[in-house]
Amino acid sequence: MKSKKIISFFLLILLTKWSFSQKISGKIYEENLTENKVEQLLPGASVYWLNSTIGTTSNANGSFEIDAPSLYPATLIVSYVGYQPDTINLLKYQTNLKIKLSKDVDLAVFELTEREKSSSVSLVAPIHIETLSEKELTKAACCNISESFETNASVDVNFSDAVSGAKKIQMLGLDGAYSQIQIENMPFVRGLSAPFGLTFIPGTWAKEIQIKKGAGSVVNGYESITGQINVELQKPDDTDKLFVNGYFSEGSRAELNIHAGQKLSEKWSNMQFAHVSNQSLAFDKNDDTFLDLPLKSQYNFFNRWKYKGEKHIAQFGFRGVYDKIEAGQLASSEIENPFKIDVLSKQVEVFTKNGFLFPKQPYKSIGIITNARYHEHNSIYGLKKFNAIQKSAYINTIYQTILGTTDNTIRFGSSLLYDNFSNNYNDSLFGREEIVPGVFSEYSYTNEKTALVIGLRYDYHNLYGDYVTPRFHYKFNLTEHSALRFSFGRGYRTANPFIENAGVMSSSRIVVVSKNLNPEIAWNYGTSITHHFNLFKKEVTVDVDYFYTNFENQVVIDMENPREISFYNLVGESYSHSFQSEFSINLTKQLELKAAYKWYEIKTTYVDGLREKPLVPKHRILTNMAYYTNFDKWKFDITAQWFGVSRLPSTAANLPENKLSNNSIAFTTINAQVTRAFKRFELYLGVENLTDFKQSSPIISAQQPFSAEFDASLIWGSIFGRMIYTGFRFKIK
């Protein structure tokens, strides 16, 4: 019996090896739509299996040979520069394929291409990276980056309070401050930009958004604890000649976004971005005398240049933002002294990126990134005043080469981070200057199945001393369709209590900040598995991940006393468990379905002991369905989210009418959008919060905003309710 098992085992190995040793071959031609024209072979075309790491290129004769898939049906993708990609669906083993690609110029006559995936998780990268494409970003109105995650399960978006309109993100259940948010690998949301910075970049400016969970790369710094969000903007040498987007909502919000690119020569290109938005009508649907939505206006401009030579690639640009918000109580004859909120933000930023290439040694490069920013923030929340100025500079130099073969890559370099904060809270000055030089090294090993990244950086902080940051990532492909990952790493950051918790300013709480707050230090450990397979001949992706974050030190935000908010160093435990499971399936070529479930356990030691973090649902479910008609003329999208119960901070000391229950209630929201596409024009109509769910009495003691119990910061649900919007997109390619 034992010998039979051994023989069966070896037969299985031989059969498996035989199935992988089969080859599929073919030739790639240019498709000729006219008669009497000789067929032209296409050398150097990319050939790869969809949702797989297996790929090849055609040789000088246009021929290719690729490993056969282990399962059928399978989809083969063929692409070539200047031609439209093609997809070949194989139901069984075939060989001697003859594939024809049509030139881009034929697109206006006939279009039949692979539909771009709206979001995907890489099977190749050692780090768990989820990429949101432009297709995903247009599933919702996506007016700015803070609204780009409405159809995504990895990032949570919530209002920070009931009046200012500020939104905050959470990753792995922890505040967005623990995530490193960048634009093209340069610092973006840091310091004074924490409460409103995500609104400073319109969604239409983004080419894609990359979400990296867990410890990031040491090349990008030491501040990543729960992950990294990197926004890739439209590129000057690969964009529309003109793009115009208009948006209008039931809440009187009007926006106009424009960007235009020009290729000035073979090497030079330029691009301009402009944004203007306004919200001018007052709404108070729940009759609590407070505006449900703030009145606001924003002007935003960005200009970027790119030079692309054989040995040198350079980019530089500048950006300016003016953002004004007015909120609070509606003025009336019955209210002598209304509670007002005024926030004015001004930001100017410049950057340069230089890459030096070695054509004879393509594996070698030198990169230099510089960035400088001036940010002025002035705000009034009732009787509270917070004014601040931030001056920041950043430089990062990176040298990359190989060790022996291209399987072994090493990157090392140095960085310098400078921050100067001048803060004024109610006439009390809180300022600091941070100077942090650092060095780093990162080794990568890759082969067909394995990828390993080991990084270490050392930084010296002028206020807090030595920062030692190790990072580790490992990926193993169980099959060509499955990737298993492990990671761990350490992260540091300096807390900015006032600006990072601006929502609490919308209350009568006394702010208590302990002296000598230490830097926040945490370890993050994670694992994930991503698997692509066919179920009843339908393409399916399953992505499951678990991450554990453990704090060595944390600046605790204590709201358990309804009369104050306290910030102090952690004494005891603080940790986060995050589990997410996501399932997506292409039910047909035109119908996509995605469902995700998330579970959190987040606890921190407060003065009265270890407790759950407030205002974070323990459970969350997201479903998204998208349907596209032929040639994407009509697009339908619907997203439903269920939010579980979350713990609320204690209000036991309040008067009976101002007491809240210990927990919120579970609720569901539904967003939907329909788009009609024409040759150069798209019209869309959508609705947010179709169920019209609204948090009951979001403001405690709204009728007495200067009383000791007034609080508009305990937000766990929607404030405005149902919101209908419409808009258009126009482009010239």
DSSP code per residue over 538-585: EEEEEEEEEEEEEEEE-EEEE--STTEEEEEE--S-EEEEEEEEEEEE
pLDDT tier for residue 40 given thresholds of 50, 70 and 90:
confident
Least confident of 89-93, 136-140, 211-215, 522-526: 89-93
The pLDDT value recorded for residue 82 is: 61
Mean predicted confidence (pLDDT) in 466-482: 95
Highest mean pLDDT among 198-207, 331-340, 366-375, 424-433: 366-375
The pLDDT value recorded for residue 116 is: 59
The separation between CA 51 and the C-alpha centre of its own chain, rounded to angstroms, equals 21
Write the secondary structure of 167-218 as one string of H (helix), E (strand) and C (coil): EEEEECCEEHHHEEEEECCEECCCHHHCCCHHHHCEHHHEEEEEEEECCCCH
The separation between CA 133 and the C-alpha centre of its own chain, rounded to angstroms, equals 11
The pLDDT value recorded for residue 14 is: 36
Paired tokens of 691: 């169920």
Higher-pLDDT residue of 67 and 542 is: 542
- Distance separating alpha carbons of residues 126 and 439, to the nearest angstrom: 22
List, in sequence order, every residue forming a beta bridge with 611; answer none if it has no partner.
604
Q: What is the pLDDT of residues 89-125, one digit of tens each?
A: 787 778 888 898 876 433 222 223 345 567 888 887 8
- Distance separating alpha carbons of residues 696 and 286, to the nearest angstrom: 9
Asked if 119-230 and 231-732 have one fold, the answer is no
Q: What is the pLDDT of residues 637-691, one digit of tens each?
A: 999 999 999 999 999 999 999 999 999 999 999 999 999 999 899 999 999 999 9
β-bridge pairing 564-569 and 510-513: parallel
Examine residue 73 and say whether the peptide bond preceding it is cis (omega within 30 degrees of 0): yes
Mean residue pLDDT across the chain? 89
Mean predicted confidence (pLDDT) in 239-263: 95
CA distances to 21, 57, 74, 77, 665 from 25, rounded to whole Å, are: 13, 11, 15, 13, 59
Which element (helix H / strand E) includes 134? helix 134-137
The pLDDT value recorded for residue 53 is: 64
The pLDDT value recorded for residue 62 is: 83
The pLDDT value recorded for residue 32 is: 62
- Distance separating alpha carbons of residues 59 and 601, to the nearest angstrom: 53
Mean predicted confidence (pLDDT) in 520-548: 94
The pLDDT value recorded for residue 299 is: 98
The pLDDT value recorded for residue 249 is: 94
The CATH number of 231-732, from 2.60.40.60, 3.40.50.620, 2.40.170.20, 1.10.260.40, is 2.40.170.20
Burial of 300 (C-beta count, 10 Å sphere; 0-12/13-18/19+): buried
pLDDT tier for residue 333 given thresholds of 50, 70 and 90:
low
Look up residue 507 and give its DSSP letter. Answer: B
Delimit the domains of the chain by residue range. 14-108, 119-230, 231-732
List, in sequence order, every residue forming a beta bridge with 562; answer none if it has no partner.
none
The pLDDT value recorded for residue 50 is: 78
Residue 592 φ then ψ, to 5°:
-115, 140
Half-sphere exposure of 602 (CA within 13 A, CB side): 23
Least confident of 54-58, 378-382, 724-728: 54-58
Which CATH superfamily includes the segment(s) 14-108? Answer: Carboxypeptidase-like, regulatory domain (2.60.40.1120)
- Whether the CB-CB separation of 365 and 355 falls below 8 Å is answered with yes
Which CATH superfamily includes the segment(s) 119-230? Answer: TonB-dependent receptor, plug domain (2.170.130.10)
The pLDDT value recorded for residue 600 is: 98
**Nearest partner of 464 among 422, 434, 491, 438, judged by Cα:** 434
The separation between CA 259 and the C-alpha centre of its own chain, rounded to angstroms, equals 21
- Distance separating alpha carbons of residues 56 and 78, to the nearest angstrom: 10
CA distances to 496, 519, 555 from 605, rounded to whole Å, are: 20, 17, 11
- Distance separating alpha carbons of residues 83 and 60, to the nearest angstrom: 17
